[in-house]
Amino acid sequence: MKYIFLILFILLLLFLQIGILPHLKILGAYPNLILLFILSLGILNNWRKNLGWIIAAGLFLDFYSLHNILGVSVISLIIAGVIIYFLSQSVFKKTNSFSLILLFAAGILIYNILSVIIFKIFGISFNFRLISFVIMIIYNLIFALPMFYIIKWYVGKFRKI
Amino acid sequence: MFKKRKIISIIIGLLILLVMLNTVPGLKKGLGNFVYKIFSPINGLFIKTGNGIAGFFEVLTSIHDLNKENLKFRQEIQLLEADNTRLKEIEKENDILKEALNISQNIRQVKEVALISGKDIQGFQDWILINRGSKHGISENMVVLSPEGALVGKISEVEPSFSKVMLIIYRDSVVAALIEKSRAEGLIKRSEKGDLSMDFISNTEKIEIGEKIITSGMDNVYPKGILIGKIEVINSSDNQLFQKIFIVPAVNFNKLEEVIVIK
């Protein structure tokens, strides 16, 4: 049952991402709910337990991207998820709001930088503006804590995912 | 130990899967088509809902301007109706003259209406997914218009039941265009700031804010005469040889729900 709810939750995030969030665009930037979901899981759970969810969410992101290579988002999400898990276990052990914000900021940066590096390696062109990049990070951080507490509540309910 | 092995085998399996998906011909397209087919009805519903909510808030914020706009549009409709009647007469005259001169008529364009069933969800690129693909006779580089006939972009990738449309606001998009009144030609690209711009227009050309920009057909992709947008800003000075214009697109790409593909 818990898996079905989680799959439905990922799908809901995907549909919100496609249908609703583009209307909240500021200078081409809007939040990536699926990334925030994976980062929240990365902070709350051991990354090994998250692997299946990361792969599923990453494949969704890849299918709904224009680039011709499947796996850019999957690989970026796995690496970001693993780093976030280790950071949450070592550098930011206390889960107060400030350390959570820092963790999410690190995760968002890692994911986007990795995506850009992979795009560059495979010669995929993409729109990049520093101001949009900064807005995108701030925008994601606004949505990060609500997402984290929803996932925390869910994880607490089922103990482990 | 067992867990470590399991993780390693999952990652190796994933890498093999990704390599296969990206290299075996047709595999990615088939899977993509399957995924889009399953999710496109719900996607479409969310896109419609999103547009509805955005439209509602837009109406709320612009309610005090509606009366003025209504009057202005009524006047514009009257002018356009007059223009329309005159143009129909000219069209008839043109047909008669073409027949008399034995000039072949243009082949009528076949149009396919498509619904939008997906959008770029990461904001890296600007594209939309439509529910028409190779099964419906869609192929790469076909031109895509809004229901009002303004330029949206071109088909960049085709799957059996779906196609991806590269919007004109995409970084690599280039459209040969001309300014409707002055007939000055140029290329429309995405500027560094993210808006559409047209460069290298001679300083001697007299252009005004609000003038329409249409396709020139010189790129052999977009047929001549499709509306792209209007001039929003003109960058010019006496000591420069060229002026640069910034264009506001005629299409609100966030609100598109359906498009027309020209075959």
Q: Do A55 and B14 touch (CB under 8 A)?
A: yes
Q: In B, which residues are within 8 Å of A67 by CB distance?
A: 124-125
Nearest to A29 among B28, B50, B123 (CB): B123
Reported ipTM: 0.75
Report how far residue B204's alpha carbon sits from residue A145's, in angstroms, rounded to the nearest whole number.
56
Q: Which residue of A has its CA nearest to B57?
A: A23
Instruction: Indicate the pLDDT class of residue B104, thresholds 50, 70 and 90.
Output: low
Q: What is the mean pLDDT of residues B60-82?
A: 80
Instruction: Indicate the pLDDT class of residue B125, thresholds 50, 70 and 90.
Output: low
Amino acid at B202: S
Report how far residue A32's alpha carbon sits from residue B263's, in angstroms, rounded to the nearest whole number.
35
Percent of chain B predicted with pLDDT > 70: 95
Structure confidence by residue, pLDDT tens digits, B157-206? 898 889 999 999 888 889 999 998 888 888 999 887 778 899 888 888 88
Structural domain B175-253, CATH architecture:
Beta Barrel (2.40)
Q: What is the pTM of this model?
A: 0.74
- Among residues B223, B148, B142, the alpha carbon closest in space to that of B178 is found at B223
The residue ranges of every structural domain in chain B are 66-101, 175-253
Q: Which residues of A touch B (CB under 8 A)?
A: 11, 14-23, 25, 27-30, 32, 34, 48, 51, 55, 60-61, 63-71, 73-75, 78, 115, 119, 125-127, 129, 132, 136
The residue ranges of every structural domain in chain A are 33-158
Mean pLDDT lowest among A50-64, A70-84, B87-101: B87-101
Structure confidence by residue, pLDDT tens digits, B126-154? 888 899 999 999 999 999 999 888 999 99
Q: Do A69 and B22 touch (CB under 8 A)?
A: yes
Nearest to A61 among B10, B42, B121 (CB): B121
Supply the pLDDT for residue A161: 47
